[in-house]
Amino acid sequence: MRDAFIAELTNAARENPKVVLVVGDLGYGVIEPFANEFPKRFFNAGVAEQNMVGLAAGLASEGFHVFCYSIANFPTFRCAEQIRNDVDYHNLPVTIVAVGGGLSYGSLGYSHHAVQDYALMRTMPNMLIASPGDPMEVRACMKYLIKNPQPSYLRLGKAGEKSIHLSIPKIIPGKPLIVKSGSSIEKVFISTGSPLAVVNDFLNQTTEARNISHFTMPLWGMGFKSTVAYELSAFQTVVTVEDHLEDGGFGSWILEAVNRIENNKPSIVINALDAKVCGMVGTQEILNEAAGLLDFKKCV
């Protein structure tokens, strides 16, 4: 996902002189293509995230679209007030990019586990969350963000994820994107972010799931609850999957959204990370399993 991100960003910068990349002293082996090609539009803010986001807002207020790149919680929680006041309140085109979403950096410990970031970003009125599930969705999110500069949060995994989509999909905030089509309206799965592959594999390989559709939702946020509520209103049960804690997460957002439907609300089954995983170390796969993420398999 990292490589798809930097490729899209570099491509965009060739056509758009307003694209700027600011990193928080991270991105070794990732950001060089951009830094080498656009040295005047690349800044390393050092290990100083508050200033990184504050100056990004200053640049954005002069017409630049600034991408702030760092790892896990550093560009979000460390500088949460700068995102809230400087970026979101002023409605400025700054995209916070966090690599290592969920438990991607499982072995690095709790400091590097980004499992509460949706909760933070979801509470900002102008914030668009981009949580792609594979490299194709990364490219789709980047194309959308470049075309629609705004306060935004791009949550990436790490590198080497396989592509589920065969081509770059067209995506719209709050609109579920079909991954696997089934005939059932009784039950659908909707995932966001990295669980895309594991959900997709399971549904494709499970006979009982052949009628179940799988959607993904790479673009969402506070402003799109009505859209998603409308989109999901035809279904009876919606199973959500995310690699984030339940509290303040994606499933919680869906639940709040469908609660706006007056009659025949779909029931929502949330599959998220159990908080017992906080503090555990291990590979992403092991920790996701330990945190109950794979419980969605019981939901068919």
Partner 1 sequence: MLDTVDLARRIRRDALLMVHKAQASHIASALSIADILAVLYGSVMKYDASNSDLPTRDRFILSKGHACVGVYGALAEVGILSKKELDTYGLNFSPLMNHISHKIKGVEFSTGALGHGLPFGVGKALSAKINESEWKTFVLLSDGEMDEGSNWEAFMFAAHHKLSNLTAIIDYNKLQSLGSVDSTVGLEPLADKLKAFGWYVQEIDGHNHKEIFEALTIQNLNQPVVVIAHTVKGKGVSFMENKVEWHYKSPNQNQLAEALAQLESN
Binding of partner 1 at residue 298 (CB under 8 A)? no
Binding of partner 1 at residue 26 (CB under 8 A)? no
Nearer CB in complex with partner 1: 78/225: 78
Q: Nearest Cα to 54, choosing from 34, 24, 26?
A: 24
Please state whether beta strands 19-23 and 94-99 pair in parallel, antiparallel, or not at all (unpaired).
unpaired
Binding of partner 1 at residue 293 (CB under 8 A)? no
Nearer CB in complex with partner 1: 53/115: 53
Nearer CB in complex with partner 1: 67/253: 67
Minimum CB distance to partner 1, residue 270 (Å): 34
Binding of partner 1 at residue 51 (CB under 8 A)? yes
For 294, other C-beta atoms within 10 Å of its C-beta total 17
Binding of partner 1 at residue 45 (CB under 8 A)? yes
Structure token digits, residue 154: 């791009």
Minimum CB distance to partner 1, residue 45 (Å): 6
- Give, in degrees to the nearest 5, the angle at Cα 54 between 51 and 55: 85
Binding of partner 1 at residue 222 (CB under 8 A)? no
Binding of partner 1 at residue 81 (CB under 8 A)? yes
Q: Which stretch binds partner 1 (CB under 8 A): 39-47, 140-148, 180-188, 276-284?
A: 39-47
Q: Which stretch binds partner 1 (CB under 8 A): 53-61, 100-108, 252-260, 275-283?
A: 53-61
Minimum CB distance to partner 1, residue 85 (Å): 6
Minimum CB distance to partner 1, residue 56 (Å): 6
Minimum CB distance to partner 1, residue 27 (Å): 17
Q: Among residue numbers 55 through 74, which ones bind partner 1 (CB under 8 A)? A: 55-64
H helices within the chain, ranges in order? 2-15, 32-37, 49-60, 80-81, 117-122, 135-147, 196-205, 225-232, 250-258, 284-290
Binding of partner 1 at residue 233 (CB under 8 A)? no
Q: 3-state SS string over 129-169?
A: EECCCCHHHHHHHHHHHHHCCCCEEEECCCCCCCCCCCCCC
Q: Which stretch binds partner 1 (CB under 8 A): 36-44, 111-119, 146-154, 267-275?
A: 36-44
Binding of partner 1 at residue 85 (CB under 8 A)? yes
Minimum CB distance to partner 1, residue 37 (Å): 15
Q: Which stretch binds partner 1 (CB under 8 A): 86-94, 103-111, 177-185, 286-294?
A: 86-94
**Would the CA dihedral through 147, 189, 244, 270 be positive or negative?**
positive
Q: Among residue numbers 90 through 129, which ones bind partner 1 (CB under 8 A)? A: 90
**Cβ 92 vs Cβ 60: under 8 Å:** yes
Q: 3-state SS string over 235-268?
A: CCEEEEEEEEECCCCHHHHHHHHHCCCCCCCCEE
**Would the CA dihedral through 201, 139, 88, 257 be positive or negative?**
negative
The upper half-sphere exposure of residue 135, i.e. CA atoms within 13 Å in the direction of its Cβ, equals: 15
Rounded CA-CA distance 93/297 in Å is 39
Interaction site with partner 1 (CB under 8 A): 20, 40-41, 43, 45-46, 48, 50-51, 53-64, 81-82, 85-86, 89-90
